[in-house]
Each structure stands twice: as C-alpha cells, then as structure tokens.
Chain A
C-alpha cells in the first residue's frame, strides 16, 4: 500500500516540469529574455522542498541536461548548477518550509543568484562573459514571483494529492 501511495501524482510533477520547460523557451521580444525568471529552477526547487524523498539531485541533474540541449549551451553546465542548487535546497528544506513566504523569497533570491553566478562563471571560462549586472536581475524577478509560484504549486499539489 505504501508503495502505491508514494507513486501518486507522478504525472502532475512531469507535467509541471514540461510547462516550466515550455515557459523557458517561450519566444519573447529581444532584450526581454534576460529578465525571465528561471522557471525550471523554481519548479524544481518547489518539488524538492515539498517532496524531498522524490525529487532529488539526480532529477535536477537530468533536467539541467535537458536545459543544456534546449539552450544549446555546454552540455552539463546547467546540469551541474541545478544539481548544486537542489543539493542546497535539500539541505535547507526544513528551514525554508516553515518561514513566511516573503522570507522564503529571500532564500530563493540567494539560491537563484548562486545559480546565475555559476552559469556566468562557466560562460566566462568559455570566453563569453555577459554583463555582470544582468546576473542580478533574473534572480530578483524569480524571487518576486516566488510567492505566486509557491501558492499555485501548493494548491496543485493538494488538489491532486501528490505525495
């Protein structure tokens, strides 16, 4: 029974990941794209926080690999950073879960900033160094929309009883 219980809602998790991937390659006017929050990272952080026994570093690494192919970047750069950020989230998840939403948003800002800075660092090693200040904007927007993402995902999770 417990195994059956644990498997419930896999499709909703998969579906949320697919939607996040679609959002992250949505065509936008040029210049606006750098302001997009990291949708896939936010979704993965949410699931690893809510269900740490199901969504772990391995899933994050695989999703990061997909993102690498999607963005046509160096294979493994997003994978490494996603795995690292999810490791931190798993380490902190019991402390993040209990605090109010706006405090969560601050933690999310730090996590997204770590993500962006390492991505920028790897880009710099390859010789393509974008403007440093651009690294600060996308995490800020990610943190600002975090409460909305969190509430939406929590309702989704409760409605479909994913556990």
Chain B
C-alpha cells in the first residue's frame, strides 16, 4: 500500500522528510570519523608542504586564467553565431559546492548523500551533480538537511550522451558496478573507437550539454548480435571525490525559444 503510494505518487514525501530528520544525527555521527581525518590532514601540515602547494596552485591558476581569456572570447563568439543561426543560447550556469556524507546506502544501488538540503538552498529533483572531472549523477530525494543523489553508474540511471569526436548520439546506462557504463543501441558499424570522449548531449533536458561523461574502454562487435557492446569509464571520480558541484542550468533562455526542453518541463510536473 505504502510502497505503491511512494512508487506512483508524491503523497508520502512528507513522511520521508520527517523521518529523515530523525535519521540525520545518525548519518552525521557515522560521517564524523571521515570528517575528522580530513580535518586533521588539513590542520597538521608542514609549512613547507603548504608553500609548495601554494606555488603549484598559483601556477595552475595562471594557466587556467590564460585559458579563460580565450574561452570568454570563444563563448561570446559562440553566442553570436547561435544568434545568427536563430537557435537557443547556452548561457552560464549557477553552481554550488556540496560535500558528500560518507554513509553507505542500499548496497545494490549506486547512490550518495550530500550535505545540502531544502532548508537553505533551493534544490530541485533531477538537479545535475558534477565533480571537477565530469558528470556524477542527479538528485532524487531532497530532505531538510540532506539530499540523496543517484550516480550515473546506477543500473536505473540512463544518460543521453554524444561522442565528442563526431557527435554520434547514444545512451549511457549504469551497470551497477563501479567505473563502468554501457552504451546502448549502437549498430555494429557505428563510428566509435576505444578512447573516444563522451560528453552530455543535453537531450534529456536534465543535464546541460557539453559536460564530460567518460571515455570508451571497450568496443566489442559481434555480427550475431544486433548492436555493438560498448563499455565506457566515467570521467568523474565517483568513488573518491568528496566535494561535488550542484548545477542550476539556465532554462530561461531556452523557454523563450520553445525548445523541446521547455515543453517537456511544462508537462512533466
């Protein structure tokens, strides 16, 4: 009864949120040792290490800044060209840094808990989650203090991607094992090779286009099967990163242009 309600509707969300408040202290407690370790690592460092790190970070910052100069110019040019083509603009997204709580969820799924909830931030369900290297997943449940997110390796998660080299579109499905994605519905003669970079295509209207997803690791073509078996490795460090980025893609400009995204978003809720 309750399970059906939860599966089909949103009515029991308040029960879930209420119980999560009871649960939160326990999650916090379990997270404490990991938190403490990172705190000690941050506190007890030598002056020399800090100096060294500072130097490398400064150099890196210089390089990134130099690249950014070029990037702003290219972005402006891109917006201009898209205006000429009368297609929707891609404008900058808002971001927020969140931290993962080190607690384990259901062992047969790939999910994480983050330390941002509905109390201070206006998160929304299906919000994309990134780390420094690529797409991690999206938010499924929002509670007052925490939220849970589903990772792209979860067997229930599908992600529309395209190959960066030639724009070949496909769907990346999680396999349930760490560091492996499966690419579906690619014919045996598709132009895909080991080492190809995959980026989000933005077609599902959940993830903004152009973020790195992973790299193709194996391509197995068997003439007896209708499709090629292609596996990829996610770019994001799904099992290691502690800090994640929450993204608010800007749909405002897309709504004006009546893209498929704005239509599905109106009907979805």
Contacts and interface: CB of A to CB of B under 8 A. Distances in A.
B156 A69 contact: no
Contacts, number: 78
A154 interface: no
A149 interface: no
A128 B22 contact: no
Nearest to B25: A18
Contact of B6 (A18, A33, A66, A75): A75
A36 B107 contact: yes
Nearest to A23: B30
Contacts of A123: 108
Nearest to B2: A76
**Which bucket holds chain B's interface residue count?**
35 or more
Would you call the interface of chain B mostly helix, strand, loop, or mixed?
A: mixed
Interface in B92-115: 102-109, 111, 113
Interface in A120-163: 122-123, 126-128, 130, 134
A123 B108 CA distance: 10
Given A75-B12, A80-B3, A26 B106 contact: no
Interface of A: 18, 21-22, 25-28, 30-31, 33-34, 36, 65-66, 69-77, 79-80, 122-123, 126-128, 130, 134
Interface of B: 1-3, 5-7, 12, 15-16, 19-20, 22-23, 26-27, 29-30, 34, 102-109, 111, 113, 140-141, 148, 155-156, 176, 178, 239
28 contacts: A22-B26, A27-B34, A27-B102, A27-B104, A30-B239, A33-B107, A34-B108, A36-B107, A65-B19, A66-B23, A69-B20, A70-B26, A70-B27, A70-B105, A71-B105, A72-B113, A72-B140, A72-B141, A74-B6, A75-B2, A75-B15, A75-B16, A76-B6, A123-B108, A127-B156, A128-B108, A128-B109, A130-B108
